[in-house]
Structures are given as C-alpha cells and as structure tokens.
Amino acid sequence: MADDLLMAPARALRHAPDRLLHPLRRRAVKRALQARPWPRTILVVCHGNICRSPFAAGLLSGALAAGGTLVASAGFVGPGRAAPAEGSIAAARRGVDLSAHRSQLLTPVLAAEAQVIVVMDARQHRMVCERFGRAASDVIVLGDLDPEAIATRAIHDPVEQPLAAFEASYARIERCVDAFVSALRLPPRVSGPRITQYTSGHSLQLRRSQ
C-alpha cells in the first residue's frame, strides 16, 4: 500500500504527456478516419487476444457489418485460448458474445490483409509497424479516440483481475469504438448475398451466408 502511494506521483508524471496531448491526438485520428475510404477489413490487436481485442472486434463487427466490413482480432502471444470468465460476463452485458472466442497470433498475412489495424497502446503501434511493415497511418491507438479525459493513452489490460477491472476497461473500449464508428465516412451500399466474417488459420476470409 505504501509503495503504491509512493509510486502514484511517478506514474502521474510519466503519463502527463498522454493527458496533455490527448485532445490533439483525438482530433488527428478523427480527421484521418474521415479522410479514409470505408474500411473493408479491420484487425484489432492486443497482447494476448483474450480480453480487449476480441471485445473491441465484437463491437466493431456489430456496428460495421451493414457496410460489409470484416473484423477480426489477434495478439502477440498464446494462440488457442478462451476469453476469461470475467471478460465473457462483462462483454455479454454489452451485447458481445465471447463464449466461442479463441485467441490467434498476429501473423504477416493478417497484418497485410487488414486495411486498418487497431491497437491498445503505443508500444503495440510501434511493434505492428516495425514487425509487419505497416504505415503508421494505418495503425490506430484506440484510446486516442476516447471522448473523455484520460489518465493514460493505453487501454488497461484487465487480464487476471476482478470483474470490475473488465467493466472499466470495456466501458472505455465501448466509448472509443463508438467514436471510431462515428468518425468513418458513410458506408457503401451493400447488395447481394450477405457477407460474414470468419477466420481460418491466421487469415481473414470471406464466405457467403447460406
């Protein structure tokens, strides 16, 4: 407890640039999204692909499916893992079903297929650009879109924490996803058979609904 109290001023100072630059970053990201064509493929990335990225991907998929957008998620470690029970509960309260989710690794194929890649912090932004050769303009730090004042640019990872931590993290993700969707151009008109998204191996794929 005493150590936490002593460390609090240091953390606040370390994250001061995040708080001060947030309004500028938010405006810049919104302008960049407004200038882009409607995204056909979006990949959401977090560290392990079991908490933050599958929830954000579920929200985006529900919001953008009518425009024909495919949304997938991936992480840097640990493929084949289910979402934690607390994450499934918190997600279900917000209309996202994570019961069938299994984590997958971020691969060069996935990174190349996505028109827009959404990450949870600046380190992940740097890793995606450096490892997979993506332009910085194609990778968005989701927390930069938060309409509220922020303590830190990163969206907190609630893994191995109580349900309340998932609720707080998912509430912020929901705010940021709403802002992401609002910043996009109007979707194109989608005609013909409905297109749905699934993943096979490590690749975004399309199939026609029956």
So which residues are the catalytic ones?
Answer: 46, 52, 157
Long-range contacts of 144-147 (CB under 8 A, 24+ apart): 144/22, 144/25, 144/26, 144/28, 144/29, 145/26, 145/29, 145/30, 145/176, 145/179, 145/180, 145/183, 146/22, 146/26, 146/172, 146/175, 146/176, 146/179, 147/26, 147/175, 147/179
